[in-house]
Amino acid sequence: MLVSTFELLLKPITPTAGNIPNSDRQVLQGYFLTIANPNNANVTLRLQFTATTPNLNLADTITISDVAGVNVFGDLTPTPDPRKFILNVEITAKDTGLVILQPDITTLNPQVDTVEIRGFVEIFLLPPSEKISVLLTPEHRGTFVSENPPIVSDFDQLVYALPTATGGSLFQLPSLISDKNIKEIKPEIKEIKEAKEFEKNPKENIETVTANQGNEVQQTLALMAQSIDNIGQRLATQEAFISSEERPVVGEVAVNNG
């Protein structure tokens, strides 16, 4: 389910200072998502970040999760799609957590490195269960720092809320696996189950399959033999294959027309 857009920045806010001193100072901007769980049970959520131009990458980004009063630093998890990365987070009942995605200033050098990544965020419920409600508040938070000269008092910040895909903070989260997907998976589960049963006792199953095939062959051969015997009996007695009642009347049409 779509949540909002996001933009990660580590770059000067203007190409050059021009006639305004320090107007080209650096900005570090990250994506902040506050998640409130008003339910009576813990919930496990999956956040999926998608970016294309350029793609997200683990070298330039870092995640920070605070769901128990402690900052937990980590990385996004790659998916088969190079544009998509995921992060799982658990929010206890009646509690609120904060998830942050921002440029990794522990490895990047603001003097030479730049980051500018835009994309969108989706959220899913894990594991598959009934729909639940959560409150989501996405924001961009940034910090401005002067480069020349470094002025401690010129350490400014900005915070602004992002519009959500629903237009509000209340989200009814669907399960990651829909009923349709479950129906599509059932035949595959059955095949896997049958394969596992076969693996448990392959010799017995092979004998069963062979016996079934042998019975079918024997039945077919018996029918063929019976048909051949019937044909042989008719030839021996010169019995016609077509009964007299089924034979057409011949000669009458030609005589009448003559």
Q: Which of 176, 196, 222 is the last residue in one of the domains?
A: 176
Same domain membership, residue 156 and residue 54: yes
Q: Which of 157, 176, 195 is the last residue in one of the domains?
A: 176
Query: pTM of this prediction?
Result: 0.66
Residue 48 lies in a domain: yes
| pLDDT tens-place string over residues 4-48 | 999 999 988 887 777 877 777 788 999 999 999 999 999 999 999
Residue 117 lies in a domain: yes
Q: Which two tokens stand for residue 7?
A: 């933009």
| Total count of domains within the chain | 2
Same domain membership, residue 197 and residue 168: no
Same domain membership, residue 55 and residue 137: yes
| pLDDT tens-place string over residues 201-243 | 655 555 555 555 566 666 766 667 676 666 666 655 555 555 5
Q: Quick check: 138 and 120 in contact, CB under 8 A?
A: no
- Residue 53 lies in domain: 2-176
Q: Environment class of residue 43 by beta-carbon count within 10 Å: exposed (0-12), middle (13-18) or buried (19+)?
A: buried
Local structure of 48: helix, strand or coil: strand
Same domain membership, residue 93 and residue 49: yes
Q: What is the mean pLDDT of the chain?
A: 79
Residue 253 lies in a domain: no
Residue 248 lies in a domain: no
How far is it, in rounded angstroms, from Cα 123 to Cα 173? 8
CA nearest to 142, candidates 159, 164, 130: 159
Q: Which of 134, 156, 176 is the last residue in one of the domains?
A: 176
